[in-house]
Structure 1
């Protein structure tokens, strides 16, 4: 007897066999889909919170365990956990990778950063994005950030110069990154270019704490380059920039616990001490050392203090002293 839809619905046993068959086929399709997964770039685990605790990268660990620390840290930790729980969705993109536009690529790269992919992998994917959709300010910034982490300063600067030339002066963030990279490389023949770029970046982007810190070191470099040696007036310019940084509350970001922020604050503290005769004004370094256990001090000071200032060894000694005193 032929089994028709009417037969299936009228015969209980046929209905049972039919339902079991549908369930089995559906399960098999699910297994095949799970094993294949489609385009790997179109998949990504749940997006996590972007706040990066320095303890997660093994560079800086919170030193608040004994005294329980400020209550706002515990509240922030609970908020982070709630935020991660709320972000219960995936970065899966249904569009095939070869059809992605810039927005697709940026979402893909953000997801890779959130899942903690190696910087080398993110750099390769960013290069693929630029090859696919062309150079844009947002993709240029992402590639510059990746190059800063894994490449030498010359390669990093060469890319930034190329990006600024190709895009024109349309993005203050890119211009500032170039000024900052040149400042950290510390070549004497870059000083005029640094000064021009820093002035330009301040016209194109908000007066952020990072811009303020870069301005402090630009002023320091300029003071060093004076023919008769730095004058009290030149050092006063650095001190004014330091006071502006502090007055804006930039040092209060210390409790974010991020490696980059702590290095920025310590760098400002070193510049302050170096331009006031190394007397007093050690509170910024003391705050960092008293609140965090900074490991790999030489690496930390390379990020805190530019090359060519002659202050990296001073930074290492001062941080070592403050870390020792904070544990007495």
Structure 2
């Protein structure tokens, strides 16, 4: 799964940005950001504008002469559009910033992420590959993870073994990243589906190791956040398929079907009525797995509906019995029941 701008901005970004605290809402509904300059760490520069204002408010504060903007200025301006769910403008502004700061790791990450959000995976691969060449040694695993994730959607643009190298590099930089563990699961699953013999066994072993490490990540669905639910739905569909069709030996993992039912329950509680087709198109980077997701999630939803119907059938006679008892008692409290 692609790592989001929230992670991009809370991780070490580049040598030119000491501290970035971006677009945090205050109690009075004001949008503010602080940039602590390296040469004046005790006196951060603070820009403020009201959350109801457009991003042009930031541009006016920064000035019309963009050649004088710092790398962080470009990040903050682009992030305003990100906060407003305008991925197209966030990507465009990040691209403009790269014209002035062609080796900016966070700007490459921001542009690549929003290209992924927009479904422009080939362009994201180009952006992040160029970013790796320009940056050289990234400060965190965001760029490598997001490049591997984008490559899964366009296999003609990236060999699976290249994607494996990338996600493993990202994990060496941040071994606990749920997004990178998720990307790794997909890479190893894709390899296992296409491989034979020893290569397939190696991919499945990697998959099961990643699955154990990803187990704690599934608890994040309790937040009800959409992107997390999409991520975990995709992972549990893989678990179910591997358990039923790919594993050659019994594993000690939890039943993938049970895991899928758990996340489907969260989905129904928080996003009842959402299109399963739309969910699966976002969750499954491999075109050949879209139908697996639709079938698995659809079956889980139907089973949950059946369970809810059975529970309701048990409750209904009880309620009817209570009403009959109340009617027989004359309404209680001296009240007379009218017909």
CA RMSD of superposed structures (Å): 2.8
Q: CA deviation at 1:174?
A: 0.6
Q: CA deviation at 1:283?
A: 2.7
Aligned match of 1:282: 257
Q: CA deviation at 1:317?
A: 1.3
Task: Choose from 130, 149, 153 the match for 1:184.
Answer: 153
In the alignment, does 2:201 pair up with 1:251?
no
Q: CA deviation at 1:47?
A: 4.8
Question: SS at the partner of 1:276?
Answer: helix
Structure (1 or 2) with the larger CA radius of gyration: 1
Aligned positions of 1:38-53 closer than 5 A: 47=23, 49=25
**More strand, by proportion:** 2
Aligned positions of 1:1-328 closer than 5 A: 47=23, 49=25, 84-85=27-28, 87=30, 90-91=48-49, 92=58, 94-98=61-65, 99-114=68-83, 116-171=84-139, 172-187=141-156, 190-228=159-197, 234-246=203-215, 249-277=216-244, 280-290=255-265, 291-292=269-270, 293=272, 295-307=274-286, 310-327=288-305, 328=308
Question: SS at the partner of 1:253?
Answer: helix
Alpha-carbon spacing, 1:151–1:131, altered in 2? closer, same or farther (3 Å): farther
Distance 1:137 1:188 in 2: 22
Would you say the 8 A contact 2:149–2:183 is kept in 1? yes
Distance 1:294 1:314 in 2: 20
Distance 2:233 2:244 in 1: 17
TM-score, normalising length from structure 2? 0.64
Alpha-carbon spacing, 1:106–1:316, altered in 2? closer, same or farther (3 Å): same
Alpha-carbon spacing, 1:233–1:111, altered in 2? closer, same or farther (3 Å): closer
Alpha-carbon spacing, 1:110–1:228, altered in 2? closer, same or farther (3 Å): same
Would you say the 8 A contact 2:122–2:157 is kept in 1? no
Query: Alignment length, in residue pairs?
Result: 246
**1:204-242: CA deviation from partner (whole Å, max 9, x where unpaired):** 334300111111112212222323498566535423321
Would you say the 8 A contact 2:91–2:115 is kept in 1? yes
Distance 1:313 1:84 in 2: 45
* Structure 1 gaps, min length 5: 1-45, 50-82
Would you say the 8 A contact 1:265–1:284 is kept in 2? no
Would you say the 8 A contact 2:104–2:135 is kept in 1? yes
* Structure 2 gaps, min length 5: 1-21, 33-47, 50-57, 246-253, 309-339
**1:7-65: CA deviation from partner (whole Å, max 9, x where unpaired):** xxxxxxxxxxxxxxxxxxxxxxxxxxxxxxxxxxxxxxx9565xxxxxxxxxxxxxxxx
